[in-house]
Amino acid sequence: MSEFSDLRPTEKCGIIGAAATAPVAADLYYGLRILQHRGQESAGLAVFEGEVRAKRGMGLVHEVFTKEDLMNLRGNVGIGHVRYSTTGSSVLDNAQPIVVRTSFGDIALAHNGDIANAAEIREELSKKGWAFMTTSDSEVIVRLLANEIANSGDVRRALREFTKRLVGSYSLVLLIKDTVYAIRDPLAVRPLCIGQGDGSTLVASESVVFETLGYRFLRDLRPGEIVELRPDGFESYRLPHPLHPAHCMFEWVYFARPDSVLDGRLVYDARVRIGEQLAREHPVPADVVIPVPESGRAQAQGYSQTSGLPVVEGLIKNRYIERTFIMPEQEEREVGVLLKLNPIQSAVKGKRIVLIDDSIVRGTTIRKIVQMLRRAGALEVHVRIGCPPIRFPCYLGIDMKTRDQFIANERTVEEIAEFITANSLGYLSMSGLIAALERTKDDLCLGCLTGLYPVPIPGERQRKETPLEMFAEAAEEEASELGAEAPPPTEAEAFSGRPRKP
């Protein structure tokens, strides 16, 4: 039995970190509320005020924290997390930030991603006497770091060294005593970006946090970048990293908010382009275009612009119901669809509908939506999907299970259309997706579509890269490690306020 046989597939989380000249709890709290779409099972904050103080709880951000909690978390540096179950179960013990007490000092960690070799590292550390309190791979990360700090006594060196052991995807914010660090994995699978306000510097999973809170969005962290936050800016150095990253395509297709910028691409624009391409690839005689809210809205706009069909809000979303895709159990997802959406009969009755959605995984959700529209009087329902068929598991952070649970592995497109009771079904092509995202296929993680993964996974195929592509910009890493002045950044990558230390 492989170490992945009981691995619970995962979804993305939201992380945030701040360093300021005043208490950061309020900005962290509101930042987590802005990132609530990335995780709805638990939330937590950790700040430093003489020691690391943390508050975690199950539920939505505003359910976990009271005004009194925020007043009691008085530190000027801190981190936060919203979570959906990753490789651990949905219980309070697995909520983050995870805090450990070490001889070096307190360490708190918030993690977005999934570590594929967590079981191996856990076993190794257990043999060295480390005790684990949770089933989360995130605790494996923080224990590994604590072990490395204990061995080297140098935080920066430990940060470089411990990441060499991690196989998978990770964007991290760490509170190590009184300092916040942020790390993006060398393939940049998970998003992470940085912004600055008046007397404070912030990192977050999505740029929309900065805009909403009044910060200035600076840029995305680069692949393999480690930053140390200061109130007046940050210091940066990089890990060895491949020439080609592996940005998760599903961030643009579904997970991220449409008003976020991910790796230089506005999510809304990418989704409009997806819709335009869908209309070119799969036109159909119809009367209206109806999006499945929320991620289908921009795609429907694009489909409308190219097809000439009007967009109609034929499905109304109950905004107080969480995202069904990230509910932990299939039964909860199916009930959630009925609670979340309701058709407008006057917009639907007697119409030939093009229904736009971002993806089909199991097929049960879209089937219920199609049947909902039919009961409301739709004459025809033609389903158009904004990404190619999903056929392979994700080991890097999306809640998509084993192969036999993907409807695209069991049926042809025509058979899927019959199962979901649609008049027709059209998936976006692979070339259409890549063009819409304005990336090359070498710069995207397409593992769930192709079965080729950017990291080694036992029993799975790995995408091939030449030796020259494996470790780019080695001179920069060597210069940083030696303490030499690194080449100046471009204007788009310019550091804020504080130069790199010589």
Residues 85 and 48 in one domain: yes
- Give me the domain span that covers residue 431: 250-453
Residues 255 and 325 in one domain: yes
Residues 259 and 305 in one domain: yes
Residues 257 and 280 in one domain: yes
Residues 42 and 103 in one domain: yes
In a domain, 386, yes or no: yes
Task: Report d(CA 110, CA 94) in Å as an integer.
Answer: 11
In a domain, 470, yes or no: no
Q: Is residue 325 predicted with pLDDT exceeding 60?
A: no
Computed over every residue of the chain, the mean pLDDT equals 87
Residues 354 and 410 in one domain: yes
| 13 is a catalytic site residue | yes
Task: Report d(CA 3, CA 1) in Å as an integer.
Answer: 7
Residues 229 and 262 in one domain: no
Q: Is residue 89 predicted with pLDDT exceeding 60?
A: no
Task: Report d(CA 105, CA 322) in Å as an integer.
Answer: 38
- Taking residues 223-234, report their average pLDDT: 97
- Taking residues 69-77, report their average pLDDT: 96
In a domain, 494, yes or no: no
In a domain, 9, yes or no: no
First-last CA distance in the chain: 50
Residue 192 pLDDT grade (very low, low, confident, very high; cuts 50, 70, 90): very high
Query: pTM of the predicted model, to two decimals?
Result: 0.86
pLDDT, one tens digit per residue, over 417-433 is 999 999 999 999 999 99
pLDDT, one tens digit per residue, over 260-280 is 999 999 999 999 999 999 999
Residue 502 pLDDT grade (very low, low, confident, very high; cuts 50, 70, 90): very low
Q: Which of 88-102, 242-256, 435-449 has the lowest mean pLDDT?
A: 88-102
- Taking residues 331-357, report their average pLDDT: 84
In the set 13, 387, 394, 445, the catalytic residue is 13
In a domain, 467, yes or no: no
Tokens 């993806």 correspond to what residue? 359
Residues 238 and 255 in one domain: no
Residues 288 and 349 in one domain: yes
Task: Report d(CA 270, CA 97) in Å as an integer.
Answer: 32
At residue 448, the pLDDT reads 95
Q: Is residue 29 predicted with pLDDT exceeding 80?
A: yes
Domain of residue 305, CATH code: 3.40.50.2020
For a pLDDT cut of 70, what percent of the chain falls above it?
85
Domain total for the chain? 2
Residue 25 pLDDT grade (very low, low, confident, very high; cuts 50, 70, 90): very high
Q: Is residue 55 predicted with pLDDT exceeding 90?
A: yes
In a domain, 193, yes or no: yes
Q: Is residue 286 predicted with pLDDT exceeding 70?
A: yes
Nearest CA to 388 out of 440, 356, 435, 427 is that of 427
In a domain, 462, yes or no: no
Residues 123 and 178 in one domain: yes
* Sign of the four-CA dihedral 129, 131, 136, 141: negative
In a domain, 57, yes or no: yes
Asked whether the beta carbons of 312 and 347 are under 8 A apart, the reply is yes
Residue 321 pLDDT grade (very low, low, confident, very high; cuts 50, 70, 90): low
Residues 236 and 265 in one domain: no
pLDDT, one tens digit per residue, over 454-494 is 999 999 999 876 544 455 544 344 334 333 333 333 333 33
Residues 172 and 285 in one domain: no
Domain of residue 136, CATH code: 3.60.20.10
